[in-house]
Amino acid sequence: MPELPEVETVLRGLEPHLVGQKIAGAVIRNPHLRWPIPARLPAILRNRTIHELRRRAKYLLIECGGGTLILHLGMSGSLRLFPSAEHAEKHVHFELLLANGMTVRLRDPRRFGAVLWHEGESSRHPLLARLGPEPLQESFDADYLYRATRKRGAAIKQVIMDNHVVAGVGNIYVNEALFRAGIRPQLAAGKLGAARCARLVQTIRETLTEAIAQGGSSLRDFVDSGGNPGHFQQHHWVYGRAGQPCRACGATIRQLRQGQRSSFYCPACQSSRCSSSGRL
């Protein structure tokens, strides 16, 4: 599913093709996403010029001068650019038609994604206004995480996945970052010491940055590619590896459920106690 690095990869792939382009129109093929696609969107978008593409958490923001098209890929969404308005595949719910003939298509079989419009400053949109800091920005630092986790009895894994604490760190990357930091996912967030908070900030950054770098290398055939840009192969330490040997120590990777989501960890590399040691 598209996580933060995939959204960033899609952004970087689309950016050179979209910025500065005029929008000729839009097509709503199926408005029933997580929220209905506003019926007036094609009229709103027509004749606007795309000024900038940005990302906030896993939201892709297309700034159109005075307003923002807000896109979310949910669990199964993809955005692709086509050189013409050729036959649309199944599950294409929304299309952005550029004046130069190019078409941006949102395909999302599970329809957990979103296409929304916000007039004015996008950071004021209700979905974006209360998000925590971006994990790759300076404001997400050791001190911030330490303060944000005080008196929180919930598991550190679930606190990191709380978008109000830090924005856009999904299930795969929190599992991987916790492994790298040597922290067990079920440890109460409030029990993390300052050193482990610092380590976790560092491994979250590393994990996301490496994934973005990998995605960047798959951008070459973004336009009209048969594949799914950003859907790159990845080498996970623990995610999806229950029952398999830890790549670091050989112990058997364990799986558990936290808040209806799967967590994976190495019982040897990730301690539940308060040491500040971490690996990698």
Partner DNA sequence: CGCCAGGCCTGCACGC
Partner DNA sequence: TGCGTGCAGGCCTGGC
Q: What are the phi and psi torsion angles at 154 (to 5°)?
A: -70, 155
Nearer to DNA, 217 or 260 (CB): 260
Q: Do 182 and 279 meet the contact criterion of CB atoms below 8 Å apart?
A: yes
Q: Which is nearer to DNA, 46 or 118 (CB)?
A: 118
Q: Has 63 been annotated as catalytic?
A: no
Binding to DNA (CB under 7 A) within 208-267 occurs at 240, 259-262
Q: Is 151 in the site for DNA (CB under 7 A)?
A: yes
Size of the site for DNA (CB under 7 A): 34
Q: How far is CA 35 from its chain centroid?
A: 19
- Letter string b/e over residues 230-255, b meaning 16 or more CB atoms within 10 A of that residue's CB: bebeeebbbbebeeeebebeeeebbe
Q: Which of 10, 50, 172, 181 binds DNA (CB under 7 A)?
A: 172
Are 115 and 41 contacting, i.e. CB atoms less than 8 angstroms apart?
yes
The Cα 119–Cα 44 span in angstroms is 10
**Contact string (CB under 7 A) for DNA, positions 78-107, x = contact:** ------------xx----------------
Task: Single out the residue of 126, 226, 243, 250 in contact with DNA (rule: CB under 7 A).
Answer: 126
Closest CA to 103 of 89, 80, 82: 82
Kindly tell me which of 32 and 220 has the beta carbon lying closer to DNA.
Answer: 32
Residue 108: CB partners within 8 Å, gap ≥ 6? 33, 73, 74, 76, 77, 78, 91, 93
Among residues 126 and 250, whose Cβ is nearest to DNA? 126
Q: Given the residues 12, 55, 56, 58, select the one marked as catalytic.
A: 58
Alpha helices in 66-138 (DSSP H): 126-129
Q: Does 176 bind DNA (CB under 7 A)?
A: no
Interface residue list for DNA (CB under 7 A): 1, 3, 32, 34, 57-58, 72, 74-76, 90-91, 109-112, 126-127, 151-154, 158-159, 163, 168, 170-172, 240, 259-262
